[in-house]
Chain A
Amino acid sequence: MPPAPHRVNSLIVEIEALTKIYESKLRVVAVDGIDLELNQGEIFGLLGPNGAGKTTTISIATTRTLPTSGKVRIAGIDVVQHPAHARRHIGVVPQFNTLDRSLTVYENLYFHCRYFGFSHRQAKARSLELLEQFLLTERKDVYPAQLSGGLAQRVQIARAIAHRPTVLFLDEPSAGLDPQSRMAMWTAVEALRKEGITVLLTTHYMEEADSLSDRVAIIDYGRVLALGSPEKLKQTFGAQTIFDLKLRTHDGIEPLIAALKSRPDVSGAEPTAEGIRVMASSSDGLLPQMVQAASSYGLRDLAITEPSLETVFIQLTGRDLRD
């Protein structure tokens, strides 16, 4: 059966009511009704804690996992019905180093191109171009086992875009990278924008989602909790500074919470295991008064989290990203 005709529109990835339920000893709902649409050329971040369903969603979109229900179309092609066709439009950088250990860096790129129908001449030219673009020319004859994590990641990105896919999937691209390699990877991803490639990246680092993405979907327990540009999310859910107060005693903190809540600049206050968490729109004037009020409860530590996607996440789920 021929694949569905290629639709000329700007929606590169369409995810509709996607679910994935693993039925084994334990019934796990990994993806629980996700809807997402990615536009041509945008960098889209899927932010959530480990186990939120990010990788499963990517696996389904990249034809490696079959959904329980729902649809994913890549460039208008249904990934379940026409996986081989859809793969022409997909570039993937998986969480793990999957470079071909039997081939050199250059050959990894070259043969990848050949898999996608490039002629010898085209594959050679494209590989050399990518080596230069990703500053890997000096290491072209090195085997993947000899590469550091950061370099291997760069080769993986180069390989993933070698066949000029419409969309690039990056699954936890900075997992296991040192800060310097992470910055280099971000630069490389930023640069893809100029190539017009649509990027879908998953991450549990909010800085990464914040600084790289045009739009972010915050997901948890397989559902999309919020969707929008990082700025919009921060405005909508958490133009909030979060104060975590650690107290020596929990006894009789209710009046303190009530007092804090009554302030106009405080939008919420709740008890935590070690003290109180206060969410406020501004910290001007609040901080000294809060410290003073809390000192009688044995204030021993105070952590301030500036408004970020992290505070948005806490706002939405009541949990830290890294919990």
Chain B
Amino acid sequence: MTDPSTQFADKRSEARNAPPVAAGRHSPAIFFKAFFGLLLRDVRVLSREFIPFLLRVGMQPLLFLFVFTYILPHMAGGNPMATAGGMDFGTIILPGLMAVAIMFSGIAAVALPLSAEFGITREIDDRVMCPLPLWAVALEKVSFSAMQSIIAALLVIPMAYYIPAVPVKAHIANWFLMVLVLVLASLLAGSLGLVIGSTVNPKQIGLVFSIIVVPITFLGCVYYTWAGLGRIRWLQIAVCFNPIVYMSEGLRAAVTPSVAHMPWWAILGALVFFTSALGRLGLKGFLGRVLS
């Protein structure tokens, strides 16, 4: 290698205008810029993997709708599940599939990369060394994951419009509720991802999927309504501890209000509660990993 010092001479041109780091005063602007920089980095990485991202979040609801709301109704005897809630199945599972999309993308966007970055590669170091409080670095992860969750959830709507044999009765009467539920549910999913990503080591992440993610999905009022559980009272009460229930029910209230759903105040209250509880827990895990 030739001596790089010979390269120094007059190459400093434009970069000299860069912000003077040694400035004595610190304004909050530097924090916002750092936060924005982290978001920008994530957008860049996602943009390179946008098609895989769409396939990842779209494949499950696509196949689900295709099999249960198109193939089965076309088969003789019909779909026994379709009559479960006394309503067509497509309408029942549209909000549920949105909830699943939100949750899976939250976990894929936070838990998987974080677990790897903490583990083998330690890539997180550069971002942790940003001029930003550590909680804000974690918040950025959760926020960016929430954005992906929202895209994933919205992607389900056109599918539910075109695929089912029996049209889905979607009607967004209250846009405010819709936005609120969507954002809260996405932040909740990101917080859950933060908890998993910062506490589980990469080798066990597959196990976590089997023993946590799959059960809370199947028992998350995704494929049936909470009201429909009325006849299995113990289960109806037990699932109240499952945050996914409020995501599904919240989207039910917002997207398919004609289906029986929980009252909005219970939904929003629980979403806020679980988001802050999981967020706190996830942040604690995150700080524990980056700070010793």
Residues of A bordering B, CB below 8 Å: 2-3, 5-6, 59, 62-66, 75, 83-85, 87-90, 92, 94, 96-103, 107-108, 111-118, 121-122, 125-126, 129, 132-135, 159, 163-166, 180, 183-184, 187-188, 190-191, 194-195
Contact = CB atoms under 8 A, between A and B. Distances in A.
A140 B231 CA distance: 63
Contact of A115 (B12, B13, B130): B130
A92 B48 CA distance: 28
A112 B130 CA distance: 8
B132 A84 contact: yes
Contacts of A112: 126
B255 to A, nearest CB: 34
Contact of A90 (B19, B44, B129): B129
B122 to A, nearest CB: 5
Contact of B38 (A75, A115, A164): A115
A111 B43 CA distance: 11
Given A100-B126, A126-B15, 5 more contacts: A89-B21, A102-B48, A111-B40, A122-B14, A165-B21
26 contacts: A64-B128, A84-B131, A84-B132, A87-B130, A88-B26, A88-B131, A92-B129, A96-B122, A97-B121, A98-B122, A100-B126, A101-B123, A111-B40, A114-B36, A114-B40, A115-B41, A116-B34, A118-B18, A129-B12, A129-B15, A132-B11, A135-B1, A135-B2, A159-B126, A166-B22, A191-B8
Contacts of A126: 15, 18
Nearest to B29: A117
Interface residues of B, number: 51
A117 B24 CA distance: 15
B230 interface: no
B7 interface: yes
Nearest to A156: B126
Contacts of A180: 1
B26 A190 contact: no
Pairs of residues from A and B, 3 with the lowest C-beta to C-beta distance, nearest first: A114-B37, A6-B24, A125-B14
B207 interface: no
B14 A191 contact: no
B7 A135 contact: yes
A103 B48 CA distance: 10
B109 to A, nearest CB: 13
A98 B12 contact: no
A101 B127 CA distance: 13
B76 interface: no
A191 B3 contact: yes
Contact of B292 (A66, A121, A163): A66
Contact of B14 (A101, A117, A121): A121
Contacts of B291: 64-66
B211 interface: no
B97 to A, nearest CB: 29
A163 B13 contact: no
A194 B8 contact: yes
B132 A188 contact: no
Contact of B34 (A6, A66, A115, A134): A115
Contacts of A116: 19, 21, 30, 33-34, 37, 130-131
B290 interface: yes
Given A135-B7, A191-B4, A98 B21 contact: no
Contact of A117 (B121, B127, B131): B131
A121 B121 CA distance: 30
A195 B128 CA distance: 25
Contacts of B3: 187, 191
A183 to B, nearest CB: 8
Contact of B7 (A64, A102, A121, A132): A132
Given A118-B18, A135-B1, A99 B30 contact: no
A108 B2 CA distance: 23
B17 to A, nearest CB: 6
A211 to B, nearest CB: 15
Contact of A166 (B7, B14, B21, B44): B21
Contacts of B37: 111, 114-117
Contacts of B2: 135
B123 A99 contact: yes
Contacts of B7: 132-133, 135
B26 A164 contact: no
Contact of B11 (A62, A97, A133, A165): A133
B212 to A, nearest CB: 26
